[in-house]
Chains A and B, each alone.
Chain A
């Protein structure tokens, strides 16, 4: 290596002669003129760590020359909350409440991958009732629609198009209404549990789903009409933040970013889980490999997800009532939930049974809730297609009631590595476009 010079993205080198200017706000042209007048050669700008146009708390360090970005570096870790460490101190079931909070706009995708991993460790993958699998697919697809709408909506908002955001968020709220009716919560649902899901559909669940689908489709149509013919949006997004297939492969990029280069890689097709092979849907792709094509792909995926939601609704109607949790009482969560006059809560029938009728049922309930269930020693890797790409989990069990190690491969963490290659040589204003088109959520990146 040659001698190291001071460099925005290299190692820190102490240079007492380097002039330094600290600027708080002000007119950008004046700052640039002032720097030029003083003969300043390089300008390093910190974007963040609390910038409204980043998805969470992200710090981007830019070295710029005029309006051109010459070096980019992403600084993460501001939202690190030690979720993986905390999970080692809770039972396998309690872990769901932690992993659902990582990427908070795609909560149930993370619950799903974590529970599928536990079920693989337990060897009960084939014992999950069909109704539970259909509900899981339903929730995963509603989550995908919500996540994509946030990606597209905030992406528009970051460019100043607030209407794109409000339209997208109204559409997302329609999915939330049904999600809340079924799971009890809008986000961070803790709905998908090891062995199944926490509860089945409410009485009018099918009707609510049927009413929701056209509303969401109408919002998607509105969003498409608002975006696709918009000349300003086209100028801002087309041929911006390009990333070709070889760069994607080198950087391990998955999800809509990879599919925008023409590779139809989607784990729902290549490695189906929860019975995805039995649903009729397409994997949209594009070969334009720019921010525009990623946005269009996300919209197309929302339509495909809506098709799956429709099929799930039909199946749930056919399946009728039935178990949503594995039959093994040593694993199945004993508590039952029911809708009461004050919202959701414990089922009164279940409370009456354990408190008034059966001592053994009370002991069983108490043991399973406080102690949890043992998972045989070993390790597994489980991956699913999250809204943002390949979402993986590595689980290690020491045979006890808690994970020995739970490690999540958040697609955003991996994909954010591409920020440099997408921004360098481009305009400062396009950095925001690149960040939006990666669509990472820093809660998931930092975990």
Chain B
């Protein structure tokens, strides 16, 4: 987690995130172009880009009710379990401490006023600049009964990328967790068979991480050489 001193002018303002404590550092952009030493004059530009920060109550819509019920069900563990709550672009995100993830999912699925019956998978995201919270696992939950959707987000450090598997609560997440292990290297403890799913079994590395190169070779076209897409001079 980063402290508030990181915020700087020039950060693109997300809708309705004014005055919030920024919590997830998405990226630190340097310069205006992909190539270093450019002549545009923007070579020394440093942009620290954050996710919209924690929201204050009232959250609006049905969000307050769901957070209240979940807090009540979790009891004493609630403060540890729910790190903070973000409401952005009409969507509710709960940042959950990993050791409480399965309990949170269990309550969200089983309580009649919550009833999030379906987990729509788990999407990994890699934020290499967010020291200590580099890897995020994002779980969109869908309630068919109440027609609602919310998002759970769990952040772990790159060196200790372990998250308990939610397959005991949401069996449909079996393949999704395998995919996130395959692409990001997040280990889901308690998964029945955490094997690679898209890449070959003997593949080295986790391709969706930001430090994993896209690959590709330069291509010659009419005498000029075009670099591969990740080597090209590009706008930032």
Chain A positions within 8 Å of B, measured between CB atoms, are: 10-11, 76-77, 80, 82, 84-86, 88-90, 120-121, 123, 249-254, 263, 265, 270-271, 370-372, 374, 376-381, 383, 390, 392, 394, 396, 398-401, 404-405, 407, 409, 413-414, 416-417, 446-447
Contact = CB atoms under 8 A, between A and B. Distances in A.
Given A85-B208, A89-B230, A249-B117, A414 B176 contact: yes
A77 B14 CA distance: 36
Interface of B: 11-15, 17, 26-27, 29, 47, 49-52, 88-91, 93, 117-121, 123-126, 138, 140, 142, 144, 147, 149, 151, 170-176, 179, 193, 196-200, 207-208, 214, 229-230, 235-236
B120 A409 contact: yes
Given A270-B144, A409-B176, A446-B198, 6 more contacts: A89-B214, A253-B172, A376-B14, A377-B51, A404-B27, A447-B198
Contacts of A252: 118-121, 170, 172-173
Nearest to A265: B144
Contacts of B47: 399
Contact of A85 (B15, B93, B207, B236): B207
A409 B121 contact: yes
B14 A378 contact: yes
Contacts of B197: 76-77
Nearest to A446: B198
A396 B88 CA distance: 12
Given A378-B89, A379-B51, A396-B26, A123 B15 contact: yes
A401 B235 contact: yes
B198 A77 contact: yes
B115 to A, nearest CB: 11
B26 A376 contact: no
A85 B138 contact: no
Closest 9 CB pairs of A and B: A252-B172, A399-B12, A407-B123, A398-B27, A77-B198, A394-B123, A80-B198, A398-B26, A376-B14
Nearest to A406: B123
B29 A398 contact: yes
B138 A76 contact: no
Contact of A372 (B123, B200, B235): B235
A162 to B, nearest CB: 33
Contact of B214 (A85, A371, A378, A396): A85
B49 A378 contact: no
B120 A390 contact: yes
A370 B232 CA distance: 12
B12 A394 contact: no
13 contacts: A86-B214, A123-B15, A250-B171, A377-B26, A377-B51, A379-B93, A383-B120, A390-B142, A399-B26, A400-B29, A405-B208, A409-B176, A417-B174
B123 A405 contact: yes
Contacts of A417: 172, 174-175
Contacts of B171: 250-251
Nearest to A378: B14
Contacts of B174: 417
Contacts of B93: 379
Nearest to A372: B235
Contacts of A250: 171-172
B121 A414 contact: yes
Nearest to A84: B208
A368 to B, nearest CB: 11
Nearest to B16: A123
Contact of B51 (A120, A378, A447): A378
B89 A405 contact: no
Q: Which of B14, B199, B236 has the most CB of A within 10 A?
A: B14
B147 A271 contact: yes
Contacts of B230: 89
B236 to A, nearest CB: 6
A82 B199 CA distance: 10
A381 B15 contact: no
Contacts of A89: 214, 229-230
Contact of A381 (B91, B147, B172): B91
Contact of B89 (A85, A88, A253, A380): A380
A263 B147 CA distance: 14
A247 to B, nearest CB: 10
A416 B149 CA distance: 23
Contacts of B50: 377
Contacts of A263: 144
B184 to A, nearest CB: 10
B96 to A, nearest CB: 15
B172 A251 contact: yes
Contacts of A249: 117-118
A370 B88 CA distance: 29
Contact of A90 (B13, B144, B229): B229
B69 to A, nearest CB: 21
Nearest to A405: B125
Contact of B147 (A86, A90, A270, A447): A270
A414 B29 CA distance: 35
Contacts of B120: 252, 381, 383, 390, 392, 409
A252 B29 CA distance: 38
